[in-house]
Amino acid sequence: MRLFGLFLIAVGVVIEALAVGILISLLMKPGVLEVGFIVGIVVAMIVGSSFFIAGIFAMRKRAPISSTTTAVAVGTRVGNYVCSTPQQMELDGEPYTVLFVSAIQGKNGRPSKLLISSKIALNGEFEIVPESGFDRFAKSWGLAKEIQTLDETFDERCFVRSDTVAFTQAFLEEPAARAIIGDLHKQGFKNVVMKDGELRAEWLNFDPAVHDRAELVEEIGARLILLTRKTPQELPEADMTARVQRRTWAAFLWVSLILFALTMFGLIAYPVLNSWPLIGRAAILFLGAFPASLFLVGKLLGGTSRSHYAWATWAMVAIVLFPLGCVGTLATFNGLMDSNPETEHPALIVRKYTTRNKNTTNYHVECRSWNNAQDTEKFSVNASEYRQVVEGQSRMIVTTRPGWLDIEWIQGKRLDFTGLGK
């Protein structure tokens, strides 16, 4: 169901927004960001992205929100069909199969659909659907490359998804084949698929009480059988090289994106004192690097009729993970490349306090800032240290460096209980 897809997307966005918000709030508290927080944020981002991707696939594959078909038990007769049970039919000695699948509501829901299929002794593959606005956008920007038949009406109305390009192009050279596919679309069977030696027409969200009519199955079966007979005498061998190349690049790009996002662990090794300069520079890096990455990914994945779907999925996840990578990369370089001398700051502790998260108590101290006497800096301490702290007397010795990017970062910190506050 598309409604379920929208729900998954909304959940994913909320989880990712919360994770980013928590990360930003932690960045504003020097010394608070620890491994546990980073791991939790990474897990939340992965979970949110999983919900988001699942929602996108649900939106693409499920029925429209207006779907009215309801679940029917397997084997139950619904009009001329037996629910979820293949019916073997024959026309002029040629067999074909009819399968009606009822809708399933709920968490793992699916739309109803009618599938009519016929065997074909070919090993190519394609899926021909009505061309969408996203398909046209992708073609105009070079994200996708579709097979063109030079039949203006067919090319304008239909989008051909195939990784066996030469095979599919030769198959569609036959005008009668294109006419039959266009007619199947008009009849309501918007997906015409060849896969695994089978030619199949699919009507998504089919309701027998509303859409069925006399001779529908026989007419579609006849068209599919005719389509199997309209194949050219000689067809090129199915070549899956394009699919292998796209999936190889996709795997490389996904690994690269994840590794880039994991640079946020650099915030643990090189925590910055004030997060706003880091966030500001990361925003500038994001605004320049993210569009460039979208262009590069489009070029690497481009060249096939399915490239834009792989590109869109990557881009939707990258828009969340990329900012984290920008922050983490800058924090890492700021500390790793810093050759400036360290400076110790004996900061007076003016307040200590606790916060509680479920069953965990966190301990904190607030110190007078060495950069501005009117400001304070907050740090986390353990329970033992917390009990020894005396407000207005104990000090936090903070060692900092100015940073390769001129963003002061904390090299280390320790409590000093020997002196008295002044």
Q: Is residue 118 part of a domain?
A: yes
Q: Which two tokens stand for residue 229?
A: 């007979």
Q: Which range of residues forms the domain containing residue 219?
A: 77-229
- Residues 305, 382 within the same domain: no
Chain mean pLDDT for the chain: 85
406 in Cβ contact with 281 (< 8 Å): no
- Residues 82, 208 within the same domain: yes
- Residues 312, 386 within the same domain: no
- Min mean pLDDT across 38-47, 90-99, 321-330, 381-390 is at 38-47
**What is the pLDDT at residue 1?**
41
CA–CA separation, 204 vs 143, rounded Å?
A: 27
Whether the per-residue pLDDT at 279 is higher than 50: the answer is: yes
Q: How many helices (H) and strands (E) does the chain have?
A: 13, 14
Q: Is residue 194 part of a domain?
A: yes
pTM: 0.75
**What is the pLDDT at residue 78?**
83
**What is the pLDDT at residue 306?**
92
Domain boundary among 179, 200, 229: 229
- Residues 200, 107 within the same domain: yes
Whether the per-residue pLDDT at 419 is higher than 70: the answer is: no
Whether the per-residue pLDDT at 97 is higher than 70: the answer is: yes
- Residues 291, 320 within the same domain: yes
CA–CA separation, 143 vs 140, rounded Å?
A: 8
**What is the pLDDT at residue 229?**
85
Q: Is residue 259 part of a domain?
A: yes
- The continuous run of DSSP H or E covering 117 comes out as strand 113-119
Whether the per-residue pLDDT at 146 is higher than 70: the answer is: yes
Structure confidence by residue, pLDDT tens digits, 49-96: 777 777 777 666 544 444 444 566 777 888 888 888 999 999 888 999
Closest CA to 98 of 208, 251, 20: 208
Those residues whose C-beta lies under 8 Å from the C-beta of residue 141, and which sit 6 or more positions away, are 298
- Residues 89, 51 within the same domain: no
Domain boundary among 279, 305, 336: 336
What is the Cα gyration radius of the chain? Answer: 30
**What is the pLDDT at residue 29?**
56
- Type of residue found at 176: A
- Residues 109, 223 within the same domain: yes
Q: Cα-flanking dihedrals φ and ψ of residue 374, to 5°?
A: -85, -15
Confidence band of 187 (pLDDT split at 50, 70, 90): very high
DSSP 303: S
Q: Is residue 422 part of a domain?
A: no
Q: Is residue 66 part of a domain?
A: no
- Residues 375, 278 within the same domain: no
Of the chain, the percentage scoring pLDDT greater than 70 comes to: 87
**What is the pLDDT at residue 103?**
82
**What is the pLDDT at residue 108?**
65
Q: For the chain, how many structural domains are there in total?
A: 3
Q: Is residue 137 part of a domain?
A: yes
188 in Cβ contact with 204 (< 8 Å): no
The angle formed by the CA atoms of residues 265, 269 and 273, to the nearest 5 degrees, is 105
Any bridge partners for residue 78, and if so which?
Answer: 81
Q: Is residue 67 part of a domain?
A: no
- Min mean pLDDT across 18-22, 133-137, 202-206, 254-258 is at 18-22
- Residues 118, 193 within the same domain: yes
Confidence band of 150 (pLDDT split at 50, 70, 90): confident
**What is the pLDDT at residue 421?**
44
Confidence band of 348 (pLDDT split at 50, 70, 90): very high
Domain boundary among 209, 229, 249: 229
**What is the pLDDT at residue 206?**
92
How many other β-carbons are positioned within 10 Å of the β-carbon of residue 291? 10
Q: Which residue has the higher pLDDT, 103 or 197?
A: 197
**What is the pLDDT at residue 48?**
77
Q: Is residue 356 part of a domain?
A: yes
Whether the per-residue pLDDT at 345 is higher than 60: the answer is: yes
Whether the per-residue pLDDT at 422 is higher than 70: the answer is: no
344 in Cβ contact with 399 (< 8 Å): yes
**Mean pLDDT confidence for 335-353:** 93
**Mean pLDDT confidence for 216-220:** 93
- Residues 113, 153 within the same domain: yes
Q: The domain that contains 398 carries what CATH number?
A: 2.40.50
**What is the pLDDT at residue 381?**
92
- Residues 247, 198 within the same domain: no
- Residues 318, 260 within the same domain: yes
